[in-house]
Structure 1
Amino acid sequence: MEWIKSHRTKLWVAGIALLLVFYLVLTFNRAVLLLADPQPIAKAIGAAYLVLPIIGAWALVRELMFGAGLERLGRELEAEGGLPEDTLPRTAGGRIVRDAADAEFPAYQADAEATPDDWRVWYRLGLAYDASGDRKRARAAMRKAISLHR
C-alpha cells in the first residue's frame, strides 16, 4: 500500500498512456480498414485518419520523455540539496496561495537572469512559475532546464 501511495502519479500516467495507446491502435486499425475500401472517399478519409495516431504517438512519447527528464533533474537537484523549501501557505484545498508565490517569484527570476546557463536555476524558476499558476511558462522553463542539463 505504501508503494502505491508513493507511485500514485506514475500509476495515473501509465493508465492514461495505456488508454491513449489503445485509442491510437483502434484509430490506426480504422484507418487501415478505410484505406482498403475501394471507394476513393473512404481512402481519403483513411489517409487523413492515419495522421491521428502518428501525431498522438509523437505527443505521447514527447510528454513521457519530458516527465522522465523532469523527474531525473528533480532527483539530482534534491540530492544536491538545491530544491527550494516548500514554505508557501496553502488554501484549505491544498493549493498554493498565489499572492505568496507571486511575492517569492522575483528572486527566482533574478537567479535565472544572473546565471542563464545553469539548469538548476531554470528548474527552480519552473517551480516558481508553476506555484504562481503560469503552467505555460513553467513548462518552458523546465524544457530549458532539461536542454541545459544535456
Structure 2
Amino acid sequence: MRARTVALLLTAALVVYLFLLADRGFALVKTGTGVGVALGAGVLLLPVLGVWVVVMTWRNGLQVQRLSRRLDAEGALPDVSDLPRRPSGRVDREAADAWFEDRRAEVEADQGNWRVWYKLAYAYDIAGDRSRARETMKKAIELEAADR
C-alpha cells in the first residue's frame, strides 16, 4: 500500500474522530449548565486544533513532495543506496554522519540554494534527527518558493 493511501486513510479516520468529538462538545454545550458549557467549549477546541494540525501536515507534505519531484526531474535526488546499512535497514550511524558532514559543507558553500538544504534535511533524517530535518526542510521550502 502506498504511503499516500495510508495517509489518506488515517486522515479520514481522524476526520471521523474529530467529527464525533465535536458532536460530544456540542452535546455538552446544549446541557446549558455552566460546567457543561465550559467543558463543551474546551472539547470543541480539540477538533479545531486537530483540523489545523491535519491541514498543516498535509500542506508540508505536499510542499516536500513538490521539491522531491523537482529534484527527481533534475536527476539530483539524494541517493544513499550505496551507504552501509544495519540489519534493521537503517543507514549505519558512522556512514550517515559522514554523509551528513558532506551535505553540511555543501550548505555552507551555497546557503541560498534550496537543493542543498533539501539534501541536508535528508541527511538529518537518515542520521535520526527528525526535528532538525523538519526545520531544515522548512528552510528548503522557503528558498524554493523565493526561487520560483
| TM-score of Structure 1 vs Structure 2, range by shorter chain | over 0.9
* Cα RMSD, aligned residues only: 1.0
Letter in 2 for 1:144: K
Name the CA distance, whole Å, in 2 between partners of 1:145 and 1:9: 22
Q: Which residue of 1 aligns with 2:9?
A: 15
Large movers: runs of 4+ above 2 Å:
none
The correspondence for 1:70, drawn from 48, 64, 76, is 64
Say which of 78, 95, 113 aligns to 2:90: 95
Q: Could you tell me the TM-score, scaled by structure 2's length?
A: 0.93
Gaps of 5+ in 2: none
1:20 & 1:98 partners in 2: Cα distance? 35
Alignment of 1:52-67 (within 5 A): 52-67=46-61
In the alignment, the residues of structure 2 paired with residue 142 and residue 134 of structure 1 have an alpha-carbon distance, to the nearest angstrom, of 12
- Is 1:145 matched up with 2:145? no
Q: Give the Cα separation in 1 of the matches to 2:27 and 2:109.
A: 57
Distance, in Å, in 1 between the alignment partners of 2:92 and 2:59 is: 30
Give the alignment's TM-score, normalised by structure 1.
0.92
- Deviation string for 1:33-77 (max 9, x for gaps)? 111112110000000111101111000000001111111100100
42, 45, 58: which is aligned to 1:48? 42
Q: Give 5+ residue unaligned stretches, structure 1.
A: none
